[in-house]
Amino acid sequence: MMKNCEYQQIDPRALSVSPSSAQNHTETKAQRPRRKWEVFPGKNRFFCDGRIILARQSGVLPLTLGLIVVTCGLFFAFDCPFLVEHLTVFIPVIGGVLFVFVVISLLRTSFTDPGILPRATPDEAADIEKQIDTSGSSTYRPPPRTKEILINQQVVKLKYCFTCKMFRPPRTSHCSLCDNCVERFDHHCPWVGNCVGKRNYRFFYSFIISLSFLTSFIFGCVITHITLRSQAGKSLVQAIQESPASVVELVICFFSVWSILGLSGFHTYLVASNLTTNEDIKGSWSSKRGAEESGNPYSYNNIITNCCATLCGPMPPSLIDRRGFLPPDEAIPAASASEIELPPFAAKNDAHMCTQSTKDVLERMVHSSEFPGLCPPGTPKTSPLGLEATSVSGPSTETSPSTGCSRQLAHGPVVTPCPPFSRSSKRDSLHSINPAFRLASPSPSLSRTNLFLSESADVGFIPLT
Report the catalytic residues: 189
- The residue type of 33 is P
* CB distance 425 to 417 below 8 Å: yes
Q: Which is nearer to another protein, 6 or 242 (CB)?
A: 6
Please identify, using beta-carbon distances, which residue of 202 and 348 lies nearer to another protein: 202
Largest CA distance in the chain: 102
Report the residue number, 103 or 222, with the smaller CB distance to another protein. Answer: 103
CA 350 vs CA 9, 213, 321, 330: distances in Å? 28, 51, 25, 19
Number of Cβ within 10 Å of residue 307's Cβ equals: 18
Nearest alpha-carbon partner for 335 in 311, 312, 352, 354: 352
φ and ψ of 20, to 5 deg: -50, -50
**Closest approach of Cβ 10 to another protein, in Å?**
8
Residue 208: closest CA among 113, 316, 59, 68: 68
- What are the start-end ranges of the E strands in 154-219? 154-161, 166-167, 173-175, 180-182, 187-189, 194-196
Q: Rounded CA gap, 189 and 59, in Å?
A: 8
Helix 303-311 / helix 201-231 crossing angle, nearest 10 deg: 100
Q: Which is nearer to another protein, 252 or 275 (CB)?
A: 275
Q: Do the bridges between strand 166-167 and strand 44-47 make them parallel or antiparallel, or are there none, so unpaired?
A: unpaired
19, amino acid identity: P
Complex with another protein: residue 75 or 203, whichever CB lies closer? 203
Beta bridge partners of 194: 189
Give Cα separations from 245 to 58, 329, 385 (angstroms).
29, 60, 62
CB of 79 to another protein, least distance (A): 24
Choice between 74 and 126, CB closer to another protein: 126
DSSP symbol at 150: E
**∠421-25-352 over CA atoms, to 5°?**
25
Give the Cα separation of 214 and 267 in Å (integer): 17
Q: Which is nearer to another protein, 24 or 210 (CB)?
A: 210
User: 149 - beta bridge partners?
Assistant: 156
